[in-house]
Amino acid sequence: MSTKVKFQDLESADYKKTWEYQEKLFNGILTQKLAGPAHRQEKDAFAGYLLFCEHPHVYTLGKSGADNNLLIDEGFLKKISAGYYRIDRGGDITYHGPGQIVGYPILDLESLGLGIKQYIFNLEEAIISTLREFGLESSRLDSASGVWLDTSDASKSRKICAIGVRASRHVTMHGFAFNVNTDLNYFSYINPCGFKDKGVTSMEKELGSIQDLRKVKEILKANLSSVFRVELTNEN
């Protein structure tokens, strides 16, 4: 029996409403796990959910982040039509906005036989494989999560995908932010992920043209399905 993950593309979605929706799905999986062995057969066939979306301009600060990594005040946030939330994921500050694929896997890692380190590795691997299909070579950076370009040269290394997750009882939420056609100017108002000496990039910038977001999503979905060895089923 293949392990199934329910997939939803929320398209353009308000950050707070999406966070609340994640919490609902996350708590549902936790409740099922705590119900005990009687639910094991169902759990083994169903590992959770994968959400894709784009958010309107918003900055989020992880629980270990520093407020001073947001370089602008509340007035300027309003001027650039951006929200700001302190949230319960790991990591520091990041930006979400149009043209970015935000992925929220809400998964029971026990049902997939994964620990948190391997889970993050798998997320990175799916992004790396997706970029390779567009002719972009990327990799991991020592002591930093996410996916980066030109990691061999510290003066040129730049992040194309940020990762920040929360896990409780081996159930995950939050996830990754993959810059496809992202307006990179918004990153100039923060120290992305707490870094002051690292750049940020996008597929559009690296390839010199706007990318077909739906095509990127389909390739990424296939790579996530392959790396995690799950069947993604559409959920309306």
| Residue of 61, 112, 184, 193 marked active site | 193
**Torsion sign (Cα): 13, 108, 170, 131:** negative
Indicate the length of the chain as a whole number: 236
Q: Are 173 and 22 in contact (CB under 8 A)?
A: yes
193 is catalytic: yes
**Residue 222: closest CA among 50, 18, 98:** 50
Q: State the residue for tokens 């353009």.
A: 12
Q: What angle do CA 31, 33, 53 make, to 5 degrees?
A: 70
Q: State the residue for tokens 């990591």.
A: 91
Q: 74-110 burial, b if ≥16 CB within 10 A, otherwise e?
A: eeebeeeebbbeebebbbbbbbbbebbbbbbbbbbbe
Which residues carry out catalysis?
193
